[in-house]
Each structure stands twice: as structure tokens, then as C-alpha cells.
Structure 1
Amino acid sequence: METPKILIADDDKKTRDFVAAFLSYKGYQVYQAFDGQDALQKIELHEVQMVITDIMMPRVNGLEFIKQLKSIRPDIVTIAYSAFANFEMTANLLKAGAFFYLEKPFNLEELETHVKRGLEHQALQSKSFRSKPCIKNRALLNNIIGESEKMLSLFEMIEKVATSDSTVLIQGESGTGKELVARAIHDLSNRSDKNFVALNCAAIPDELLESELFGHVKGSFTGAVASRIGRFEMADKGTLFLDEIGDMKANLQVKLLRVLQSRELEPVGSTRSKKVDVRIIAATNQNLDHMVASKEFREDLYYRLSVIPIMLPPLRERGSDVPLLLNSFLEKFNRSKQRKVQGFDKQVMEILSNYDWPGNVRELENLVERLVIIKTTGVISIHDLPEKYRGSRTTTVLHGEPMTLPDDGFCLNSAVEEFENRLILQALEKSGGNKKEAAELLNLKRTTLIEKLKKKKLVYGEGSATP
């Protein structure tokens, strides 16, 4: 396995040498740069996977350096540090693309933990950057995480769609990231310097949605004490994202269609039309084809909205992306919740990668937030997972579809050994670690169970099971 390469950028030679010596001792290949400009030049010479940089440096400071680095090498992971920390600086660094931020003086063991996590993240992420070189704007797609074939195809589609002003209809289950895709299309378009305005059509009462969309004039209805512009005017020359478009009532569908056709709108209570130049991106988790067939959604509006249709895959269809998402959300919540959870053990990673995720990426993100808050530190194991996730693994093993013998054979002894280990650990879990009760659940003698635990070197939880 190739030794990871790390670049240290700091104008303070003493600090730079100190960090470099520590990482070299830990087995990494380390290069040094005395400021951001020097670091950019060194990166052209050395194929580094990570940069650790100070913020306060001459010529090109740390923040500007990270921005420039992400524009040319978005696959490189960056860890920033400074003795002059504040909330605004931290927010700007993370927004620019920093993987983690440390306050000086920092603990070297803590640094090593984040270096390991960062390199794991980089290894997963770099596959997607290498596999599709035709995707040119990956730095602007960083918020959409994935390396599976379906996601790489999505990235290509976003790039192609962004150059057009045609309306886009994004369809997918709840929690698949429809607004993230809409924002990416806007960010890559020639409207990126104008407003991106989002409106959830299902979150606004029907009687107020027209005013939200088109605005109103003073006195047009009870409570209209002043004139107000709508979301269309807010998004003029930019992009309007209409989420949950399938929940829009028929009367408003007619008015929306008129605006799309004429590029003019009339605020509620007004007799004057206003010209608008807005790109529409709509989204729904409903099947609009079926709604059109049942007359719940206007056919003419449907065809106006779906000039370019995009279907987002559910998470269960891209399980290979789960480890990348888990690592990304872990770092996010470690920072925001001020925790130091180091990662997920192999068994947890396997279980979560094979879970169906009915709530998609949003469910996974909520789970990681919960685990980070409760765990606080250490490695997340199967015993930290809520029952429904642990249970899914048991159901798959015991009651799943019949297994097929692979063409290249199968190690029966290993499978039986693994199955027995899982049952023993489950019995210990159900008994709270009590070996006598666990043995009864397995219809074994207590001494037999103890011998198996010693032979297999199984340990329940963080400590030994109770006698």
C-alpha cells in the first residue's frame, strides 16, 4: 500500500518542523511549504492526498489557499489550524472546503485522529474524481456526495443541464437531495451570480401560495397592509426552485402555466403585468405521470415543467455510497456538536451499507447525528445502533432469500463461525451480558459458553460480559 503524502504549510518553521516530524514518525511522507503560494507550487510537484495549513501566512493566507486549492484539486483533503479562532473564521474555512479546523495549540493525538479520518475520506472520494474525468466542475458538486455509477451519471447530467435555461423536473423519494441538485444546477449556470429562491409548495397554505409566488398589492386581501413582491420577482434573472410541485392546487397550476408561457405575472390584486426572467426547477416525490392520468395534475403544465427530467436514485440503490456519506456526516457532526467520535467499526459499516434506508440520505444523516451526540467519543459499534438497524441484519441472515453458491465456491466453515459468533453476541446483548442467561437462551451449558468465548476471543460491549 502506497504511503500517504501530506503537505504542511506554515510560515512558522518551528511549528512546521514539529508537525512534520510527528507525522513522519507516524509513517507518512511529509513535504513542507512556507506559505500558501509555496504550497500551491509544491502540490504541482508532489501527488499529495492531504494538506495541513496554518491560516495566518504572508502572500497567500490559509483561507485563500484553500479556495484556490479546491478550484484546482478538489480531491485533496485540507485540515486548517490557527491560534486566532472565531466563529466567522471557522464558518468561512468550512465553507471554502476545509475538512476540519483545529485551534492552536492542538493535541498531536487529536491531529493524528483527524489525519486518519481525512485520508479515509480522501480515499473514498478520490475514486469518483478519477473515474469520470469528463466531470469538470466537481468543486461545485461537493455537497452532493457519491461515487456510484448512478451518482456519477447524475453529476454528468447536472453539468449538461446547467448550461441550458430549460425547465427541469427533479423526481425522487423524500430525502434523496432534490434541493441540493437544484442548487448545483443553479451554481453551474450563467445565472449563478443571481438569486436562487426556493419555495416548498406543500408548506404554504393554499390561500397564501398565490401571494407567495406572485406577490400582492396593498389592500388586495385582509392583512395585506403593504405591497409585497413574490418569489418570482425575488428570483428575477436567477432560479426559482418549486419543491413539492405535485401538491399545488389546480387553480394555481393554471396561473403558473400562464407565467411559464408568457414570462409575465400579475400580483394578487393588481391589474398590471410584470415581466420576469426566471429559470424554473421543480421537484416532487410523487408520480406526476399517474397524477396526470388521474387528472390531479395538468398535462400541459407537466410537459412545460419536464422539458429536462432528472430522476434521483434512492439510497438503497447506491449502497456503495453509504461509507462516504457516513464519514462525511461524522466529520460534520463532530465539528458542530463538539464531539470526538473516531469512526464506525467494520460490522456497523457493513450493516448500514446493506440497510434499505426508506428515509434515504436524510434518514442516514439523522442517524449519524444521533449516534455522534450519544457516543461522544470512540468508535461506533453495533451495540450503539438503534434496534431497528441491528434487527435488519438479523432478519437478513435468518429469514432472507435463499443463498446461491457462488461460481468460485464458498467457505462454509467461515460462514458457520460468523453465524455462531453473531448468535452468541446477540444472546449476551439480550441478557445484558449475563453469561448464565445467555447460555440458557442458546440452550448451552454456562461452562460451554465460557469456553466458546475464550476460544473465539469474543468480548461483549466495551468490557467483558458479567459472570
Structure 2
Amino acid sequence: MTARSRLPAVLVVDDEPRSQEALRRTLEEDFEVFTAASAEQAQRIMETEWVQIIVCDQRMPETTGVEFLKSVRSRWPDTLRIILSGYTDAEDIIAGVNEAGIYQYLMKPWQPEQLLLTLQTAARIYRLQQENQRLSVELRTAEPVLAKRVEIKHERAKRELALDGLVRTPESPLNAVCHLVEKLAPFDLSVLISGESGTGKEMLARAIHYCSRRADKAFVVENCGALPDQLLEAELFGYKRGAFTGAYEDRIGRFQQADGGTLFLDEIGDTSPAFQVKLLRVLQEGEFRPLGAARPHSVDIRVVAATHHDLEADVRAGAFREDLYYRLATVTLHVPALRERAMDIPLLAGRLLEASQKLLGKAVDGFTTEAIVCLAAYRWPGNVRELQNEILRMLALCESPRLGADLLAPRILRSPAVDQQDDRLLDLIAVDGGLKERMEALEARVLKETMIRSRWNKSRAASELGLSRVGLRNKLLRYGLERA
């Protein structure tokens, strides 16, 4: 059967041509109307057309309308069936409802408005039945499919966000931290992570979560240093409607969102003493009260906190509560700065470049050797976050197949650490002599930076420095500057 029209299709079955024509004229503006003079002809139409409603006369020469509609019900159960009859035989009505599943039993003479309204309602019921069946099938098939998709994503998250997601070499000082995480993560101990900004403390917290028994539950993050006390309290504990000005609806807090999982409190050292008291009570009692709520809520969470402060020094200075510190610091971990992980930088830069290419939609073949040497030599005060931003900048500016050192920011090229790539340059910088020696050291550094930015094109560098090509070459030889 095929749908030939957007209008719902009605099949009129009546052995009287005048009745067929009257029904057609009444219905044709709102329906696609098919007509049949017998049950046999009606059956052939049903086999070739998509009919939603049948309007059938009860008294026909070969059979009754009820008998015909019983056969329709067995073969096309979704089609709505309506009987038209000039006889008020109670047995016919009962048989029609019970045996043929009749939707409506209409009496002749019928009123056009009533008939049209009845069929319009029947058409809506048919559409709803079809939609209900479709959704039922989708829900039956969707549940196992969705469950499998969730399982696959959980496994992927465990692979990419657990310890394997922390980029490091076999010689990296980060390995000692990861070894501790591997041993401690399965136990529900609170963890305090320290380290400079941008070192990846949140990534380590995620790794702790995905290595724990709570990996299938939520990992919820809150930056405690970004909000004043009142807003931070509302974010963490939630609130009820009307608890304060602007609270137009109930809101679930981070503690409740993390129930069963892990709550990561970043920059915990930036919280005020007043808020530290409230947080300590929640951690001690395992329950909290949303703002404006009448009763407290209990939660089962693991707390991982992080800070760039020296919290032990803050405790000694009275800037951080000692009891809260020991509540948070059952286990303490320190993430080394990127300058302490120079051996990781080439591998980490490659991983960050992959992510940057996806973000910017731009592909390159990697870094030049000279660029990697410069990246590894720089001290990165902004740590991994600074490295990520530098790679994004280089990729955006790049016009060649590989990212070269000429794309690096001037602060990196001018850094003394980058100059220390060359032993000769290191000797010059370390001189404690007079003005001549120190000026030579500065000149060597300027030459090195200019050569890198000009991609070691001597003509371009000489023009920029106001030197002849021969003069530039002599200075490069004098200071032992060669391309890496």
C-alpha cells in the first residue's frame, strides 16, 4: 500500500451509487475518497491503497458490513472501521462492536456535519495510534541501544581521562604522582592537590575519579575562587525558590549533583574563613541544607580539592582553618610545574597540537626540530595552559606544512632559557666582566632571536639588523650561532 496524498484516505463501501456519490461530495474536501460497490471490490482497494478509515454500509448483497469489517480487522487492524446502517438492530450493533471492532455505528439518514466531524476525529485517532506505535517501538529498541552507548562512552572516558590521559615520558617526575594515584584512587579518601596554576590539577582530579569505584557517577567541578561567599554557597548547596532576591525557582547544588560521585573544589585556598566554617560542617556531617530549605540532604561524595597556595603556610599564618585543612588533606599530591618536566614537552606539545588542529580545523605536519628545542628550553611560567595557548597561536599563524620556531612569541625567543641551548651563548651570558663582554652577550641574544624569526634567512636578518650579509655571517661565526 502507498500513500498518494497528504489527506487521510477514506474507503466508502456501499452498493448504492447515489449513497456513494453523496458521501464523496461530503468528504472530498477533507479526505481522499475511494468508493467500492461490494466487499470484494473494497478488498482489492485495501490491498493497493493506504486507507486509514472505512465507512461501510451494513446491508450489502453478498455479505453484511460487520462480516466484511471482521475480515478487515484481521488483515488491517490499524484501519478505523465505521458502519452506516438504516436499521437499529441491537444484535447488529453488539456484533459490530465486539467482533469487528467498530469505531462508530452511525444511523441513516446521516447528517453531513456529524459525519464529517466523526471522520475528522477518527483521522486524528489514527495518527495518534501510529505515533504511539512508532514511539513504543523506538523506546523498546532505544533502551538497549542507549545503554550500550553509555557503556561505550564510560569505557572511553576511563581510557582518555584516567592516568593514561596524562601525557608523560618514562623519565617524567609526574610518574611518581601517577603511581600514588593508582594506589590511592580506589579508596574513598579526600585528596588535596597542590601546584601552580595551569599545571593540570583538574586533569589529575579527573584521573583520580576515573580510577576509583565512583567512575560511573558524576564528576562535578566548582571553582571556589571565582565567586563571593553568598553565590558560592548557592552554587554548592543549592537553594529553594524565594530563598533570596532573584531565586525564582529551585536549584540543585553541586553537592547534590555529585551524589555518588566526586566533587572537585578548585582553588579552595581562596575561600573566606566564614565559608570555610560552613564547608567544614558539611564535610564532617555528610549533609547540607539548601538555602531556604526546611530540612538537610544527605550525600555520598568524595571530595578532591586543589590550590595553588601553600596551605600549610596559610594554616600557620591563620589564613586557612587547620581543621578544614586536615579534613581535605587526607592525601596530598603535588603536580610538578612544566619547567620541571622539560622531557615531557615534545610529547605534550604533540598531543596539544592534535587537539588544537581539531579546534581550529587546520592541519599541519607537526613541529620543526628547532621549534621543539625552543619549546623545551623555555620555562613556561603559565605551565601547560600557556603552552596550549602558544600552540594555538602558532597554528593560527602558520602558513607552511610545519610549525617553525619563527612562529614563537618574542618572549619565548628572548628568554635566557632558550639561549642556553648553545654552550657558547651560555658562556657569554654567564660572564661577570665589563661592559664589552655584557654587550657581546646581549648582541648574541639579539642575533639568535632574529635568525630564528627570519627562519635563518641571512639576507632578511641582515636587512632587519642593518648589517651586510658578510658582517652578519662574521658575527654568527664569532658567537658560534648555528641552526639547530
Q: 1:156 Cα shift? A: 0.9
SS at match of 2:314: helix
Say yes or no: does 1:253 pair with 2:279: no
Deviations 1:270-294 (A, max 9, x none): 3412211110000011111121122
Equivalent residue runs for 1:37-436 within 5 Å: 96=156, 140-147=162-169, 148-392=171-415, 395-396=419-420, 397=425, 400-401=429-430, 422=448, 425=451, 433-434=459-460
SS for the counterpart of 2:207 is helix
**1:318 alignment partner, SS class:** helix
Q: Is the 1:264–1:276 Cα contact (8 Å) retained in structure 2? A: yes
Distance 1:264 1:434, change over 3 A: closer
SS state of the match for residue 251, structure 2? coil
Please report how far the alpha carbon of residue 448 of structure 1 lies from its aligned counterpart in structure 2 after TM superposition: 5.9
Q: Aligned letter for 1:203?
A: A
- Maintained 8 Å contact 1:195/1:239: yes
TM-score using structure 2 length: 0.57
Residue 79 of structure 2: aligned partner: none
Which consecutive unaligned segments of at least 5 residues does structure 2 have?
1-148, 433-443
Alpha-carbon spacing, 1:137–1:335, altered in 2? closer, same or farther (3 Å) = closer
Letter in 2 for 1:369: L
Q: 1 CA distance for matches of 2:409 and 2:260?
A: 47
Q: Quick one: distance in 1 between partners of 2:296 and 2:407?
A: 59
Larger radius of gyration: 2
- Distance across 2 between alignment mates of 1:400 and 1:366: 29
User: Counterpart of 1:179 in 2: which secondary structure?
Assistant: helix
Counterpart secondary structure, 1:223: coil
Identical pairs, percent: 41
SS in 1 for 2:188: coil
- Given that 1:340 and 1:377 are in contact with CA atoms closer than 8 Å, whether structure 2 keeps it comes out as no
In structure 2, the CA distance between the partners of 1:402 and 1:353, relative to structure 1 (3 Å rule), is farther
- 1:439–1:360 Cα change, 3 Å: closer
Task: Give secondary structure in 2 for the equivalent of 1:340.
Answer: coil
Q: What letter corresponds to residue 319 of structure 2 in structure 1?
A: E
Mapped contact 1:162–1:188 kept (Cα < 8 A): yes
Q: Equivalents in 2 of 1:294, 1:420: separation in Å?
A: 45
The one-letter code sitting in structure 2 at the alignment partner of 1:425 is M
Cα-to-partner distance string for 1:28-86 (whole Å, 9 max, x where unaligned): xxxxxxxxxxxxxxxxxxxxxxxxxxxxxxxxxxxxxxxxxxxxxxxxxxxxxxxxxxx
Instruction: Give the number of equivalent residue pairs.
Output: 311
CA displacement, residues 402-452 of structure 1 (integer Å, 9 cap, x when unaligned): 79xxxxxxxxxxxxxx999948836978999457646854xxx65565799
TM-score, normalised relative to structure 1: 0.59
One-letter identity of the residue aligned with 1:177: G
**Structure 1 residue 141: deviation in Å?**
2.1
CA change 1:329–1:250 in 2 (3 A) is: same
- Sort the Cα spacing of 1:324 and 1:167 in 2 relative to 1 into closer, same or farther, 3 A: same
Report SS of the residue matched to 1:361.
Answer: helix
